[in-house]
Structure 1
Amino acid sequence: MRSEQLARQLATKLAPLYTIHGDEAFLAQEAAQTIRDAARNAGYAEREVLTVEAGFAWSRLALIGNSFSLFGDQKLVELRIPTGKPGVEGGKAIEAYCANLPPDTVTLVQCPKLDRAAQNAKWFQALATHGEIVEARGIDRTALPGWIRERFIAQGQQPASDALEFLADRVEGNLFAAHQEILKLSLLYPKGEISLAMLTQTIADVARYDVFQLGEALLAGDATRLCRMLDGLKAEGEAPHLVLWALSEEIRALYKIGQGRARGMPMPQLMKENRIWGNKQRLIDGALSRVNGSTLRDGLAHAARIDRLIKGIGSGDAWDELQRLCLSIIGTRR
């Protein structure tokens, strides 16, 4: 299940085993705390935390699995695997533990985002077979206003549509800050409608951008967001050559997909060959309708000039040129 489905599952029953993994740290922490609270409310008062680090003895997990409390206390056991790699010994220990879960115990396993190979490993499959898997998946920009709205509604407030967009722009990529800003508004204003004017008086710009989000904004043709992201990355000290690489990969993939489509190749095959996944797939048709092959070839030539500029060959500002490159691809001039 996704992390936002956890509360509904817990309202039905408290499972003996939960595993949380994902790339969104805030949602992972929130999900873990939700499970702790549910366990505490159900009488699991004792808590034991095991953190897998250098020198960790996996026999400790087996000991917990074989131990019984003299007083019959219910216990919450947390197993934290920061690397997401328990190793051969750890994998076997987890499999054995899952095969014979201790009574009167809720076990919470926490990992970072796990790739497909890790999810197919026997130890992870054992966790999935005997318990619940919770994925803390990141919230993309298109889904962010809806996520924010749900948080406001939970605290009895109704944000206006323009207020949602305003807030989403300022907390994108930083759910910790989004959570704090929403809580702050619950303290500053009573239940009811939250207007844009209320937000502009109180909200700080705490957005954090990822280089790899640039491609989605480029394909969507969102000039305002693209410029904001470039300004944010520059302010955060991101290396311009990494930004150029990300943009060049996106332009090159779009060019190859356009060529392939013109030759009648199936789009699913083109998407796979050019590594276009997730939300980007639905943006490809719109992007190809806005840009032609000539513009994309010019864009790649422009990217080559920016590369030389970053290396100190020529005159000009690399960040200004990166912005011009993006705006030329989406058909906007500045």
Structure 2
Amino acid sequence: MNLAAQDTAHHLKAHPLPAISLIYGSEALLNAEALDALRARATADGFSERQRLYGDTRIDTLIAELETPSLFAPRRLLELYLDQKKADKATADTLTRLADLPLDNTRLIIYAPNLEKPHTTAWYKALFSKGNLAIASQALYPEQFAKQIRARLNAAKLRLTEAAYELLLANCQGNLFAAKQAIERLTIHPQAHNIIDETLLTELLDDFSQFNTFALSDAILGADWLNAWRIAARLEAENPRDTTLVTWLIQRDMSVLIGLANLNPGEHAAHYQQYNIFAGQQRRYQAALGKHSRAAQRTLLKLAARLDRITKGAEHGDYWHTLKQHLLLRAQQQRQLT
């Protein structure tokens, strides 16, 4: 069965968790919320033990365990994380084998956000023609993004004037994580039960944006490394667990820059549309092209990948120390060149 990521929680209210679920697609928050919904349903269905497996090298271990299940094995939830855009032959063959394995005491979630067009592959057809669940998220274009924000405001029982609503859309820059954070802050505001106008929203966003993740994004794009380090330190002090948006922004920003550097100017508009970069934001990236070499862009993209692995537990390390260490090193290198 195929399902849009935003419909996952509603679907699982009426259906048990299938043996195998897949989450893929480009909208990070919708993927994360779908994963949370699957985990909650697994717990409700009695699969309370959870185990995470990272990377293709762990698939053989997974297959071996599933092929020889113990009579006394606990009911468990396995989460398999894959980074590939396209499954190689070994991975595809292994995934195909999953379709015929007994999963009476096991539920498997395959979390592979980078997969591209998996529905055209043989392994996908083998797994998801038998009642399993394939959950896909897609990049939200402006109209879709606006509908998402409206729905989330309604769910939070928040009432905004039309001007305030438009201001919120502009400040979120097409990012659902930012929208979620802003809406959560609005819900705890003393005047949340009133109609929120543009003035009140402006005050709240000004207070929130002094040291927020978008300020960090601006500092990194502008190669203002020491300021980026200060902002990262402040973000760590305020909420050390709030790392997902930081990683996403670094990954998104560097992917945009690398794409722009490899394209002709006439192709930039389509590239910006692919990443949902609104017209008002495009100047930031054009200016950043002159401040980051291609090697520096790739280094920051690798940093984002490492931070993601640390967050998921696939690599040992301290998230904020790793980030701040990189920013401080870049600041020192910049000072030596001046």
Q: Please give the TM-score of this superposition, normalised by the length of structure 2.
A: 0.60
Partner of 2:126, secondary structure, is helix
Q: Aligned AA for 1:104?
A: N
Return the alpha-carbon distance in structure 2 between the equivalents of residues 79 and 218 of structure 1. Answer: 32
Deviation per CA, 1:86-135: give whole Å up to 9, x if none: 4222212211112234113221111124333x431111222322311111
Report how many aligned residue pairs link the two structures: 232
Aligned position for 2:242: none
Aligned position for 1:4: 6
Aligned position for 1:126: 126
Partner of 2:167, secondary structure, is helix
**From 281, 284, 296, the counterpart of 1:232:** 284
Superposed, which structure 2 residues align to 1:20-31 within 5 Å? 20-31=23-34
Q: Aligned AA for 2:109?
A: L
**From 46, 49, 65, the counterpart of 1:46:** 49
Superposed, which structure 2 residues align to 1:180-329 within 5 Å? 180-189=181-190, 190-203=192-205, 204=209, 206=214, 215=269, 226=279, 228-234=280-286, 237-238=288-289
Q: CA deviation at 1:22?
A: 0.6
Partner of 1:156, secondary structure, is coil
Aligned position for 2:230: none
Say if 1:66 and 1:192 are closer, same or farther in 2 by CA, change over 3 A. farther
Q: CA deviation at 1:68?
A: 3.3
Aligned position for 2:21: 18
The question of whether the paired residues in 2 share the 8 Å contact of 1:152 and 1:158 is answered with yes
Say if 1:101 and 1:19 are closer, same or farther in 2 by CA, change over 3 A. farther
Q: CA deviation at 1:83?
A: 1.4
Deviation per CA, 1:33-79: give whole Å up to 9, x if none: 221122123321111111115xx153212123224354453211111
The question of whether the paired residues in 1 share the 8 Å contact of 2:67 and 2:102 is answered with no
Return the alpha-carbon distance in structure 2 between the equivalents of residues 188 and 68 of structure 1. Answer: 52
Aligned position for 1:163: 164
Q: Please give the TM-score of this superposition, normalised by the length of structure 1.
A: 0.61
- Structure 1: gaps (5+ residues): 220-224, 241-334
**Identical amino acids, percent of aligned pairs:** 22
Say if 1:114 and 1:199 are closer, same or farther in 2 by CA, change over 3 A. same
Aligned position for 2:107: 106
Return the alpha-carbon distance in structure 2 between the equivalents of residues 172 and 104 of structure 1. Answer: 43
Return the alpha-carbon distance in structure 2 between the equivalents of residues 163 and 105 of structure 1. Answer: 47
The question of whether the paired residues in 2 share the 8 Å contact of 1:145 and 1:164 is answered with no
Q: Aligned AA for 2:139?
A: G
Return the alpha-carbon distance in structure 1 between the equivalents of residues 286 and 87 of structure 2. Answer: 38
Return the alpha-carbon distance in structure 2 between the equivalents of residues 10 and 186 of structure 1. Answer: 26
4+ aligned runs moved over 6 Å, structure 1: 211-214, 216-219
Q: CA deviation at 1:10?
A: 0.5
Aligned position for 1:263: none
Aligned position for 2:296: none
Say if 1:139 and 1:81 are closer, same or farther in 2 by CA, change over 3 A. same
1:74 and 2:78 aligned: no
Q: Aligned AA for 2:52?
A: V
Return the alpha-carbon distance in structure 2 between the equivalents of residues 26 and 179 of structure 1. Answer: 9
Partner of 1:78, secondary structure, is strand
Q: Aligned AA for 1:215?
A: A
Aligned position for 1:269: none
Return the alpha-carbon distance in structure 2 between the equivalents of residues 74 and 102 of structure 1. Answer: 10
The question of whether the paired residues in 2 share the 8 Å contact of 1:155 and 1:191 is answered with no
Deviation per CA, 1:188-240: give whole Å up to 9, x if none: 24345332222111123949785889737999xxxxx63x22333246x1459
- Structure 2: gaps (5+ residues): 218-248, 261-266, 292-338
Q: Aligned AA for 1:21?
A: Y
Say if 1:216 and 1:198 are closer, same or farther in 2 by CA, change over 3 A. farther
Deviation per CA, 1:285-305: give whole Å up to 9, x if none: xxxxxxxxxxxxxxxxxxxxx
Q: Aligned AA for 1:90?
A: T
Q: CA deviation at 1:161?
A: 2.3
Aligned position for 2:229: none
